[in-house]
Structure 1
Amino acid sequence: MKKTFLAMTALFGLALTSCSSDDNNNNNNSGDKSTFVLKVDDLKGNINDGTVTLDPTKTYTLTGGLVVKGGATLVIPAGTVIKSSATAESTSLFIAVERNAKININGTAAKPVVMTSGKATPAQSDWGGLIIAGNGIVNTGANGTSEVGGLSYGGTDNTDNSGNINYLKISYTGSKFSATKEYNGVSFFGVGSGTKVSDIYTYESGDDGIEFFGGAVNATNLTIINSYDDSLDFADGWQGTATNVYIKGVSKAGVEGSNNEKDPSGALPVTNAKIVNVSIIKGGATFLSDEKAINYKEGGGKQAYTNLYVADDMPIALAKLATDAGAVANMNAGFFTITNYTFGAQITNVTGPKLSGATSGQTGAGAGANLPTWADWTK
C-alpha cells in the first residue's frame, strides 16, 4: 500500500510539473478545441484552427508574430496582460488576425486587456501592434497586402465580422522597417461593420495611433495619446463612423483622411468618413502638429466632422489641404464639412472645410481639452 501511495504521489507531481509552463489550449473551456499549444512565456506562431482562449491570471510574453489564421478565433478575456519580449527584434513582434478569422478582446473598464512593451524602460516603437484584416470593400482592390504583417485583405462584404474589441490598452507600438513601412497601434485593413469596436486607448505609438484602410467598421470611445505620426488616420474608401475621439500629443495631424494615394480622384468607393465628438490637443513642446488638426489628403473624399473641439495650442491653420484635382473638386462640392465647433482663438485660417452650426461652447469628445469621463478607465 505504501509503495502504491508513493507511486501515485510521484505521478501526480509529474503531472503538475508538465503543466506548469504551458497552457495547452486543448485543455481550455472552449468547445472548439485548437491544436495550437499556448505558452505563457513564448507567445507566438500561427493559430490554425479552433478557439484559443488566454488566461487572464497570467502575463504573456510575445516573442514573435502571433497570427490568427482564417477559420480560427483568439479570445482575450478581461484583465489579460501581454508584454512584448524585451530582447526580440521589435519588427517581429505583432498580433495579426487574417481574413475569416476572429479576435474577441473582452476587456472591461475595471479590467481592460493590456498589450504593452516588456522592456524595463519602455518607449514608442518597442513592438509592432495589432493588425486586423477583413473582407470589406477597399478602393485599392480586393486582394491587397498589408504593409506590415503581410496579411491579404479586402473583398466585397462591408458587413464582414472579425470579432470585437472592447477596452483595450495598447502602448509603445509602431516599430519600423523603414521610414515608409511602420506598424500602427491598431490597424484595420478592410474590416467590416460586423466587427464591434469600442474603448481603445493607444499610447506612445511610433506611427499612427489607429488607422482604417477601407472597409466599414465603426468605432466608439477612442483615446489616442502621443502618436509620432498621425493620431487617427483613414484611407482607401473607409465608410465608417468614429464617435467620441480624444486626441492629445499630435506629431503630424490630429486626423489624416484621404481617398487613395495612387488614384486620388478616381478610386471607388470614395472614402466617406464621419467623425463625431472629437477633441484635438497638440500636447507638449515635443509635439509639433505640423500637418495641422486635419490633413485633408490625396483626394480627401467625403469627410464630415460634428462637434469638433480644437485646443488653443494647435497651429493657426486648421487644416492642411491637398492640391490634387480630386481633393479640390471634393472641397468645392462641399464634401469636407465641419458642423458645430470650438476653435482656439489663435486659429485664424479655416480655409478648406465648409463650416456651419454653433461656433462656441462645443465640448468635442466631452470635456474640451480635458479627458472626458468616458475615458476615465484609461487613467
Structure 2
Amino acid sequence: MKSRCTTLILSTLLVISFFNVNAQDFDQDHNQWTKGWTNFDPNTTNYPKAEETIPTIIADDLFLNNDVTYLLSGNVYVTSGATLTIEDGTIIRCDHENPANLIITKGSKLIAVGSEISPIVFTSNKAPKSRASGDWGGIVIAGSGKINSVSGNGTIDSINPQFSLYGGTDENEQTSIMRFVRIEFPGRKSQSNGLSLYAIGSSSIIDNIMVSYSGQDSFNWNGGINNISKMISYKAEDDDFQISEGFKGVLDNLIAIRHPYITSPRGSYALQINGYNKDLGLIQPTELTDITVTNSTFVNLSDTKNYIHTTAAISASNSALIYINNSKISGFSDVVKFDQTYTSLAVIEKSFNMDNSFFNIHGEGVQAAYQPNTGVLNVLKYNRFTQNFVDVETLFSDPHSKAVPKFGLQKSLNAYMVMK
C-alpha cells in the first residue's frame, strides 16, 4: 500500500500526462474480463435441484465436488481450523426458508476456485422468476489480520458468539482463496451481506467475484489488508462496496451497476468508506481506512425521469483516505459526499484524490458537511465530465445488456469538459 505522499506524487504525474495520453480510452469497453463466468439475468436461470445438504458444523476438511448440487441451509460454520474446498463448477442452492449463511470462522479457511468456463455459484433455492434480493444470507469470512479498533479485534453480529471473533496481528494470513464465484440473491435483512470479509490478510486471494441482487451490501470489508481485483456488484439494495475498520489495499477493476429504484431508505452508495468504526474506537490515526481504486466503473442506470432518486457515488466518513484513478462514475447525484469529520477544504484535499477519471452527474459534484464549503470542487480537478447530465442509454454503448453490459462512451473522451 503506497503512502499518501506517494499517492500525491503519482497523482501529479498523471495530471501532467492526462492531456496528452489517456491512460484508459473511455470510449472503449475494457471489461472483457467479465465475459464467460458472469450472469446478469440470474432470475431466469434453471439450476438443478439440490441433492445433498451441507452439514451445519464443518470441523474437519471437506471437499464439495461439482457432480453434486448442494443445499446450504441455516448457519453453516467452518470451524476448528478446517478447510472447506469447493470444486470449480459446483452449484450451491441456498435455503430461503431457513436462511443460509456460510461462515468461515477465525483460523479456518475457504478455497473456492472456479474458472471462466466453470464458475462456482451460490444462488437462491427458489424457482426461476421467483427469486428476490435477500432470499438468503451470504458468505462471511473471519480472519486474523489487523483492524483499527482499541482492542484489536471485533465480533460479528447475528452469528453464534462462540464463532463471532475476528481480528489479530497476522497481516499476512490466508483465510480464503476465491476466484470466479457468483453469489446471487443474498443479503437477508438483519443477517449478512453478499460477501463479508473481516480482517483478511494480504495472502488471501480474492478476484473475479460477482454479487447480484443483494438485499444489503454486496461486498463488505472490515479491517485487514489486501489487494483485490475484478469484483462486480449488480443491482444491490444497499451499498455496493462498504469498507471500514482500517482496511488498506488497492481495489482494481471494480464494477457497480445500480438502479435508481433499487436502494435502501437511507440511501445507497457505490462506495461507502468509513475511516474507523465508532463503536470499536480508534487505535491511531495512521490506521485509518486507506484505499486506492483504479480502472473501475460505477454506474447508476438513471435518466432524467428518475435521477432524483440517486445519491452520491461515494460516501466518505470518519476521516477515511481515498484515491480514485482511471475510473468512470455516472448517473449519480454527485461524485462524493464528505461527513463532518472532514472539517475544511485542506482536510478534504489531504484525504481524497481523484484523477484521470470521468464523471456524469446531475448535482454540483461534491457534498461537504463543513460550512461554508467554498472550493470543494477543487478535488475534482483534472477529470473529464459532461457539461449537462446525460441519460445512461445516450452515454454508454450497451448498458442494459443481459449478456454483458458495456460501458464504453459513445463519444470520444475528448468531447467532454475538463475540470480545471
TM-score (structure 2 length as normaliser):
0.70
Counterpart of 1:137, as a letter, is: K
Contact 2:307 2:332 in 1 (8 A): no
Contact 1:264 1:300 in 2 (8 A): no
1:78-106 deviation per Cα after TM superposition (whole angstroms, max 9, x unaligned): 10000112432x2xx10011111110111
Q: Structure 2 vs 1, CA of residues 124 and 196 (structure 1 numbering), >3 Å: closer, same or farther? A: same
**Residue equivalent to 1:319:** 336
**Residue equivalent to 1:341:** 357
1:305 correspondence with 2:304: no
Q: Report how many aligned residue pairs link the two structures.
A: 322
Kindly report which structure 2 residues correspond to 1:258-269, keeping only aligned pairs within 5 A, or say none: 258-262=274-278, 266-268=282-284, 269=287
Counterpart of 2:210, as a letter, is: Y
Secondary structure of 2:347 counterpart: helix
Contact 1:70 1:101 in 2 (8 A): yes
Deviation at 1:48, TM superposition (A): 1.0
1:245 correspondence with 2:249: no
Contact 2:349 2:379 in 1 (8 A): no
Q: Structure 2 vs 1, CA of residues 213 and 171 (structure 1 numbering), >3 Å: closer, same or farther? A: same
Q: Structure 2 vs 1, CA of residues 246 and 232 (structure 1 numbering), >3 Å: closer, same or farther? A: same
1:106 correspondence with 2:113: yes
1:159-207 deviation per Cα after TM superposition (whole angstroms, max 9, x unaligned): 1111300001001111123xxxx41100000011110000000000001
Deviation at 1:349, TM superposition (A): 2.4
Q: Structure 2 vs 1, CA of residues 45 and 296 (structure 1 numbering), >3 Å: closer, same or farther? A: same
Deviation at 1:348, TM superposition (A): 3.3
**Residue equivalent to 2:230:** 221
1:277-301 deviation per Cα after TM superposition (whole angstroms, max 9, x unaligned): 111111258897644100012x132
Kindly report which structure 2 residues correspond to 1:1-379, keeping only aligned pairs within 5 A, or say none: 40-49=51-60, 51-88=61-98, 90=99, 93-120=100-127, 121-140=130-149, 141-150=151-160, 151-177=164-190, 182-249=191-258, 251=263, 252-262=268-278, 266-268=282-284, 269-283=287-301, 290-297=310-317, 299-311=318-330, 313-315=331-333, 317-324=334-341, 331-332=347-348, 334-344=350-360, 346-350=362-366, 351=376, 354-359=379-384
Q: Structure 2 vs 1, CA of residues 116 and 154 (structure 1 numbering), >3 Å: closer, same or farther? A: same
Secondary structure of 1:223 counterpart: strand
Q: Structure 2 vs 1, CA of residues 265 and 307 (structure 1 numbering), >3 Å: closer, same or farther? A: farther
1:351-378 deviation per Cα after TM superposition (whole angstroms, max 9, x unaligned): 47733545269xxxxx97767xxx959x
**CA-atom RMSD, angstroms?**
3.0
Q: Structure 2: how far apart are the matches of 1:148 and 1:345?
A: 37
Q: Structure 2: how far apart are the matches of 1:368 and 1:135?
A: 42
1:324-359 deviation per Cα after TM superposition (whole angstroms, max 9, x unaligned): 3x6658834522111211111635323477335452
Contact 1:305 1:339 in 2 (8 A): yes
Contact 2:198 2:223 in 1 (8 A): yes
1:263-284 deviation per Cα after TM superposition (whole angstroms, max 9, x unaligned): 7995431111111111111125
Contact 1:46 1:67 in 2 (8 A): yes
Contact 1:295 1:319 in 2 (8 A): yes
Contact 1:342 1:359 in 2 (8 A): yes
Counterpart of 1:271, as a letter, is: T
Counterpart of 1:42, as a letter, is: T
Secondary structure of 1:331 counterpart: helix
TM-score (structure 1 length as normaliser):
0.77
Counterpart of 2:289, as a letter, is: T
Q: Structure 1: how far apart are the matches of 2:359 and 2:72?
A: 42
Deviation at 1:62, TM superposition (A): 1.1
Secondary structure of 1:354 counterpart: helix
Contact 1:189 1:214 in 2 (8 A): yes
Counterpart of 2:240, as a letter, is: S
Q: Structure 2 vs 1, CA of residues 331 and 83 (structure 1 numbering), >3 Å: closer, same or farther? A: farther
Q: Structure 2: how far apart are the matches of 1:353 and 1:187?
A: 34
Contact 2:365 2:377 in 1 (8 A): no
Computing the radius of gyration from Cα coordinates, the structure with the larger value is 1
Secondary structure of 2:102 counterpart: strand
Structure 2 gaps of 5+ residues are: 1-49, 367-375, 387-394, 406-420
Q: Structure 1: how far apart are the matches of 2:323 and 2:278?
A: 23
Q: Structure 2: how far apart are the matches of 1:80 and 1:353?
A: 49
Counterpart of 2:123, as a letter, is: T
- The structure showing larger relative contact order (alpha-carbon pairs under 8 Å, at least 6 residues apart) is 2
Counterpart of 1:186, as a letter, is: L
Q: Structure 2: how far apart are the matches of 1:187 and 1:287?
A: 29
Secondary structure of 1:334 counterpart: helix
Secondary structure of 1:176 counterpart: coil
Secondary structure of 1:300 counterpart: coil
Q: Structure 2: how far apart are the matches of 1:309 and 1:200?
A: 20
Secondary structure of 2:297 counterpart: strand
